[in-house]
Amino acid sequence: MAGQTARAYLVGMSDIPDFLDHGRPAVPDLVVPRGVLGFHLPLRPVRGRLVRLGPLADALLTRHDHHPVVARLVGEALALAAALATALKFRGSFSVQSKGDGPVRTLLADCTELGALRSYARVDAEALAALLARDPAPDAGALMGNGYLAFSVDQGPDRERHQGIVAISGASLADMTGHYFETSEQLRSFVHLAAASTADGWRAGALVLERIAGGGGVDPMLDAAGQEESWRTALTLAGTLTDGELLDDALPAESLLFRLFGAEGVATNAPRALAFGCRCSRARLAEILESFRAAELDEMQTEGEIVMNCEFCNVGFGFPRTSLRGRG
């Protein structure tokens, strides 16, 4: 948290107190207008979302100097957070978070109702090096180890936080998510996640399908067996998707969905935008620092300054020690 950083946020002298200074560091002002495309198969019990972060993935993942196997996992988590957040009606943020005893101790990706994305991962470098020596291409289960995966909706301090938790189980983040839906939500789903470093930089995406209960929008002539057959057909078609197709900027989202589900007739909704969404500011970080005791702040300072690093955008904010009172 404290210490020197290569991305120090340097500003000129200002008369604005830190706790009122909502100035932002120079982070990418990047929006992907068609980041999420919802869709459904008409008269079939199937709906879904196609997520493609495009250049936003590279902007987010290159903020940290993670090993590629970790960056891939973070990219998948970002795509998953976007896919699940845009299925909900809420104000606030939706997060995917894991805590485990593997090399990736903590993983967090969150998305606001407006599509603002951010992420970070805490990595045990020695444990990761040991794992890579045994397996150069470890899966998500090996990276995360034993622990839990949580899906949370935070609508602010005045609203109850909704959270679902499941034990980490499975080789991939997609497997873990499917396990959560099946055991905690009793929802049948299909999840395909991908992230990779390409010639154009990092890319990440997701395809999520959900089996909806028969009712409005489903062909009344389809009995239970017919609806089940429709769902299985959709799973078979979705299973033909490749990572290359999902991450291909040159392949329009509508074209990809038609390629997958055209035989069933696919209808799309209005696209949703995604954006670089770190919400740090001097005011936010000053509030955190003021929660420490004065003696603790003294220990954090170096030559009269405390540098606090934002874990999401990896930017350091410098605070003169004399500007902070602390507790006690």
Tell me the Cα Rg of the chain.
22
8-9: strand order across its sheet: 8-9, 316-320, 305-309
Pair 107, 189 in one domain? yes
124 and 217 inside one domain: yes
Domain assignment of residue 301, given as a range = 8-23+280-323
Same domain, yes or no: 217 and 70: yes
- Cβ neighbour number for residue 51 with a 10 Å cutoff: 29
311 with 248, same domain?
no
DSSP per position, 308-321: EE-TTT--EEEEEG
Mean pLDDT of 135-139: 97
Please tell me the total count of domains within the chain: 2
Answer whether residue 116 is part of any domain: yes
Residue 20 has a pLDDT of: 44
Report d(CA 183, CA 104) in Å as an integer. Answer: 24
pTM of the model: 0.85
User: Do residues 163 and 289 share a domain?
Assistant: no
Contact assessment for residue 81 and residue 111, using Cβ atoms and an 8 Å cutoff: yes
Among 43-57, 173-187, 225-239, 311-325, the range scoring the smallest mean pLDDT is 311-325
pLDDT, tens digit, for every residue of 75-126? Answer: 999 999 999 998 888 778 899 999 999 999 999 999 999 999 999 999 999 9
Q: Does residue 254 share a domain with residue 171?
A: yes
- Position 248 in a domain: yes
Q: What is the CATH number of the domain that holds 204?
A: 3.55.30.10
Domain CATH number, residue 302: 3.90.1280
Q: Are 195 and 57 in contact (CB under 8 A)?
A: yes
Answer yes or no: do 295 and 243 share one domain: no
- Asked, for residue 1, whether it belongs to a domain, the answer is no
Whether residue 3 lies inside any domain: the answer is no
Mean pLDDT of 53-73: 96
